[in-house]
Amino acid sequence: MTTIESNPAVPVPSDPGRLTQPPRRRRPARRHIPTALWIIAIVALTAIVLYPLLWMFSASLKPNSEFGSNQGFLPENPTFDNFVKVMQGIAGIPTWKFFLNSLLLGVGAVIGTVISSSMAAYAFSRITFRGSKVLFAAMIGTLLLPFHVLIIPQYIIFRNLGLIDTFWPLLAGKFLATEAFFVFLMVQFIRNLPRELDEAARIDGCGHGRIFFSITLPLIKPALITSSIFAFIWSWNDFLGPLLYLNSPDKYPLPLALRIFNDQTSTSDYGATIAISVLALLPVMLFFIIFQRFLVDGVATQGLKG
């Protein structure tokens, strides 16, 4: 900053002055790179970034005989055989079962996250109570806590409760708001709502329960949507949790099923492995295409990681 301010000799155009002067060149000087060059750069970059995804779709349509022989981008004889084969399932379990398990876990994660995180966020942002500052600091602290410090004792707890090989260890944390990102996101959102609404409701005799349900929840809908989408996608992609807690293949969600495919068939059956990867990513990609604004804006304004 000092370099700019320490040069009073140069007349820096001030705002009122600019209004009266003839219109200056409005575009800042930094825009001097020709637009054509910018377009070429950005298109090339897009091609590189999206290449793995496009390659994945293309490769899933290649018959197995083309893996190795046809290094080209497009399949010579496109076929849906890989998908047909992969839908038959693996280890005697049909593939739709893995989708169902992932769906159940995802829906459970969304319900748990929305309920528990919004309650905690309301308490932190709208109720003044003893110990709230300390607990809020603790909540922020857990944002930076490496998850691996917790997995062993958590595993022991759920093992002692006899919950290994059930969905409960994977859902319990969601219903107890252990993912501080969501609480933080909602706290930020609630803090920007005018407090006057709460005060007015309070004067009308509303308690916190009523204010929470009738005023806060409807107003933070965008934050609830963003949280729901992230909660679903993170649950859908989660690998370590199911790896720790689920033993029976008929309870496996997609990431664990993918791992069996990868271990058992990757050397002999590339096509099938890639095809199930495509199927597993498809719901996430659809979610992303539909809700991209919510997701990207959520990241931009809250610093939320994807």
CB of 147 to another protein, least distance (A): 6
Give dist(CA 124, CA 244) in Å, integer.
32
The answer to whether the CB of 273 falls within 8 A of the CB of 266 is yes
CB of 250 to another protein, least distance (A): 19
Q: How many Cβ atoms are within 10 Å of 14's Cβ, its own excluded? A: 8
Instruction: Compare residues 20 and 69 and give the one whose CB is closer to another protein.
Output: 69
CB of 84 to another protein, least distance (A): 19
* Nearest in space to 286 (alpha carbons), one of 233, 240, 247: 233
Instruction: Compare residues 95 and 277 and give the one whose CB is closer to another protein.
Output: 277
Instruction: Compare residues 107 and 299 and give the one whose CB is closer to another protein.
Output: 299
Burial class (CB in 10 A: 0-12, 13-18, 19+), 244: middle
CB of 249 to another protein, least distance (A): 15
Instruction: Compare residues 225 and 244 and give the one whose CB is closer to another protein.
Output: 244
Most distant CA atoms of the chain, gap in Å:
81
Which two structure tokens, joined as six digits, stand for 262? 């990868």
Give dist(CA 37, CA 247) in Å, integer.
54
Give dist(CA 210, CA 188) in Å, integer.
21
Instruction: Compare residues 88 and 144 and give the one whose CB is closer to another protein.
Output: 144
CB of 288 to another protein, least distance (A): 6
CB of 16 to another protein, least distance (A): 13
Instruction: Compare residues 52 and 205 and give the one whose CB is closer to another protein.
Output: 52
Q: How many Cβ atoms are within 10 Å of 196's Cβ, its own excluded? A: 8
Which two structure tokens, joined as six digits, stand for 290? 């539909």
